[in-house]
Amino acid sequence: ESPLASVPMAPKDPMFGLSAAFRADTDPKKVDLGVGAYRDDNAKPWVLSVVKKADEILRQTPDLNHEYLPIAGLNEYLAASQQLVFGKDSQILHNHRVATMQTISGTGALHLGARFLSKFFPESDAKRVHVSSPPYVNHLPILHDACLETAFYPYYTPTTKSLDCDALLATLHAIPEHSIVLLHACAHNPTGVDPTQSQWRQIASVMRERQHLPFFDSAYQGFASGDLDADAWAIRHFVSLDFPALLVAQSYAKNFGLYGERTGCLHVVAQDADLAARIKSQMEKLQRVNISTPPAYGARIASTVLSSPALFSEWQEDLRTMSGRIVEMRRALRALLEKGKGEEGKWKHLTEQTGMFCYTGLDPEQVRVLREKWHVYLTGDGRVSVSGLNWGNVRYVAEAFGAVEG
């Protein structure tokens, strides 16, 4: 008998299972509102025009080869990524207080950060990562894989379909000092609900007082509002309060449309340059056993754009195209759902929430009917990927939502 004979079947990944069910559906009216990637108005993947240009530039670079990158990644990419997150004139960059590693997109950054904390965060009751309720679908699995414990902080409240800030602040007060708190920098997934700047100030101030360690997941910078600085505001505000340690997991999947290239960074902000150098040396050790060195292509594309003022402003245009279309679809769906029903504001969460996703409040039974009767696919928690909407299907989706809402 095989020594592996007792391996049990793992459950299917819910997200990838939903896409498979959508592909298998032969109804021409079918709509994919599950997809976690941007789609254009024809429901097709969109290659950013600036990425096409960078691609062309790379193709024409005569001495480009296929050698390994350094363990930490492409140098110019690391520097440009730091500036993008923390701001060009950031004091912590000037003082060399940030240890940065190129990672396998945002997932790899979260994982490296989790492995790093698992190894070096001091043993104590507080060696537990606090995540939002509800969490991003992969947060708990990634943290548990790195042998970290988890607990939830209150975040979304279904009654108002918005942030329960009082409960969140109370929990941040109540948990042990020096806790690790995982925060979504912007465009919270799955709820689409972000704190306002004044709420962020309160969150940051409690966390500073309680000496918690902020671990930001930044998967949507520039994609949420179309403005790279606005979407980094929360991170930069925390940095301005001079937390002794702070982590950022950065992904270029959404904002560059580089999903398959696996392009990201982990940044660890330390108290001084000496500690940052030691942290970086340890992260290089973890990187070496995990992936040895990161993949080159996406990092070359990103740094080509980030280092050219002309390409950078084209990128900003592309970001406004994507975020603008999403905002337009939020407005269109809301208007269609509320039209003529005398229910002004019933769907206001559609336009108040931000980023790729909207938490509709539809329950699992309604989601099932949407899928089986209407061929409209969304996750069981009622999360809609807004970029799955377009001018060709938004009326049909409004009709379907209206019908299941009764």
Binding residues (CB under 6 A) for ligand PMP: these are: 36, 105-107, 136, 184, 189, 217, 219, 251, 253, 264
Closest CA to 347 of 357, 329, 333, 326: 333
Q: Looking at beta carbons only, is 226 or 257 nearer to ligand PMP?
A: 257
Q: Please, what is the minimum distance in Å from the beta carbon of residue 262 to ligand PMP?
A: 7
What is the spatial distance between Cα 405 and Cα 384, in angstroms, rounded to a whole number?
A: 15
| Secondary element (H or E) of residue 188 | none
CB closer to ligand PMP, 114 vs 219 = 219
Q: Give 357's strand partners.
A: 385
Residue 383: strand pairing partners: 359
CB 211 within 8 A of CB 271: no
Angle at 301 between CA 246 and CA 217, to 5 degrees: 25
- Select 34 or 106, whichever has its Cβ closest to ligand PMP: 106
What the block records as the tokens of 228 is: 């790279």
Least distance (Å) from ligand PMP to the CB of residue 300?
Answer: 17
Question: Which is nearest to 218 in space by CA: 182, 251, 242, 245?
Answer: 251
Q: Which is nearer to ligand PMP, 186 or 286 (CB)?
A: 186
Which among 15, 3, 85, 20 has a CA at the least distance from the CA of 252? 85
Measured from the CB atom, the residue of 217 and 318 that comes closer to ligand PMP is: 217
In the bound state with ligand PMP, the residue whose beta carbon lies nearer, of 253 and 322, is 253
Smallest gap from Cβ 256 to ligand PMP, in A, equals 10
DSSP conformational letter for 147: T
**Contact criterion met (CB below 8 Å) for 181 and 150:** no
How is 96-124 classified by DSSP, letter by letter? T-EEEEEEEHHHHHHHHHHHHHHHHSPPS
Contact by Cβ (8 Å): 50, 305: yes
Which residues are CB-contacts of 84 (< 8 A; sequence separation ≥ 6)?
A: 221, 228, 232, 250, 306
> Smallest distance from the beta carbon of 261 to ligand PMP, in angstroms?
10
Supply the DSSP symbol for 45.
B
Shortest distance in whole angstroms from residue 109 CB to ligand PMP: 8
Please state, in angstroms and rounded to a whole number, the distance separating the CA atoms of residues 189 and 354. Answer: 10
Closer of 105 and 171 to ligand PMP (Cβ): 105
Find the shortest distance in angstroms from Cβ 139 to ligand PMP.
7
**How large is the angle between the packed helices 309-338 and 297-306, nearest 10 degrees?**
100
Shortest spacing between CB 253 and ligand PMP, in angstroms: 4
**Cβ at position 185, least distance to ligand PMP in Å:** 9
The residue among 53 and 184 lying less far from ligand PMP, judged by its C-beta, is 184
